[in-house]
Structure formats: structure tokens, C-alpha cells
Amino acid sequence: MIITIDVGNTNITVGVFKGDDIVSSFRITTKMPRTSDEYGMILTNLLEKNNICLEEIVDAIIASVVPNVMHSLEGAIIKYLKIRPIIIEPGTKTGIRVVTENPRQIGADRIVDAAAAYELYGGPVLVLDFGTATTYDLVDKDGAFVAGVTAPGIRISARALWEDAAKLPEIEIRKPQSILAKETISSMQAGLVYGQIGQTEYIVGHMIREADMGPIRVVATGGLGRIIAGETDVIDIYDPNLTLKGMNLIYKKQNRKSGKIRQS
């Protein structure tokens, strides 16, 4: 088994793979500073609670957009799992060529999503990730990452509402019964959800027209993507585990049998 770790701005998402099958997954909050020992205890406890035998994990791969987490997290994997993990970074074999003006500015998570969508669903493909930011990434028929759009995520927009407007409360993000809201909470929910739907439809439509590549499959992922995917026809596939699947696919391209550290 291998462990895949996606370090996002809000959550660290962990998946355990046996071949192509996800046998377990869980999340840890990113924003709380932790030592390597704290990460080690959290990871091993969660793995054991999910009935994963630590000795059966032979390797690990990490994609991160939060550099200040990496020293402690990598140290935890080395110390507690006795594995030296693969870090996805420029130069890692992914199956995706980045042909933007500055390839090093493209986050590892976006490359992973692009690799997964291209390999699993074919190209050209437009990959949407509804995370802390909402991203729209275009991969052509030959597996080249050619363009990307970045917008504030739903949670960022929601936080801006209740933090910057004194009388607006913190709310649950969900679709209200009607866009014709009659009180504050449902009016905020309507603005957030329907606003995201409108943004999605406009950006997807505009990118597909300007790209002029013919039919383009649209694949979405991310925690809040389920809400949006069910409300618009522009999204063809919603895959909640796209990033973890992408990391597993990239791991296979490294042709490494094990990352276990030999004990002296």
C-alpha cells in the first residue's frame, strides 16, 4: 500500500491506495502549526483507526501548496512510517507538460488534478477544483497544460461576507430552497451558491470558446464541487477523489518499488 498526501491551504487530505483502489481516506486541518511528532501521532492514529496496518505501507507521495508545513510533515513520515516520501515538484514525471509562461508558478495540486483528469477521462479536458480557490485548468489532447484561471473559492467569499460586514452572520454553505431569498441567511446562501454556479458557467463557456479545441470534457473535484456539479450542465463528471487518484497515478510513473528507509 502507498499513502498519498495532498497539502492544501485549508486541509491535508490523506489517501491510502492498494493498487488502484482507495482503501481509506481522511482529512487533517492545515492551518494549525504542528511539530513532526504531532503530525506523526495524528497520521499513525488515524491510519490505525481506519484499520490500516502501518507495516503494509511501503511508500508515500506528497503534493503541497503550503511550503511551511513540509519540514514537519516530511519529518513525521520519515520518523513514524520509516519512509522517505516522493515530493511532487518541478521535474517530477507527471505525464503532463506545462506550456504556460512560467511553469514553476503552477501549483502541484493543479498538475496532479490535470494528470488525473487527462489519464482517466482523456483530453482535451477542463479541470475544475472547488477548493480554497476555485481553479479552472485546460489540458489539450496531447496532455499539455495550456491555460488556467484562478478565482476566490466559495469559502473565501463567504468569509469575506461575515468578516467584513458587521451584521452578516457566519453561515452554512448550501443551496437555499429558492434564489428568491426572504431573510439574511438564505440571501447569503443564494448569493454564494448561485454566484458560484454563474461564475462556473461563464468561465467554462468562455474558456471552451476561446480555446477552440472542439468538444472539451469538463471534470470537477473539490469538497464544495458536489453542490455546484449538481446544479449546472457544463460539468460532465464530478470526481471527489480526483487529486488522490492523480497522486497514485504519478507515483506509478516514478517506477519506485518502495520508499522504506533501510535500518542500519
- Which residues participate in catalysis according to the annotation? 109
Cα 125 to Cα 122: distance, rounded to the nearest angstrom: 7
Sign of the alpha-carbon dihedral angle for 113, 141, 226, 47: negative
Burial class (CB in 10 A: 0-12, 13-18, 19+), 59: buried
Q: Torsion over CA of 137, 21, 256 and 63, rounded to 10 degrees?
A: 40
Task: Please report how many Cα atoms fall inside a 13 Å half-sphere around the Cα of residue 120, on the Cβ side.
Answer: 25
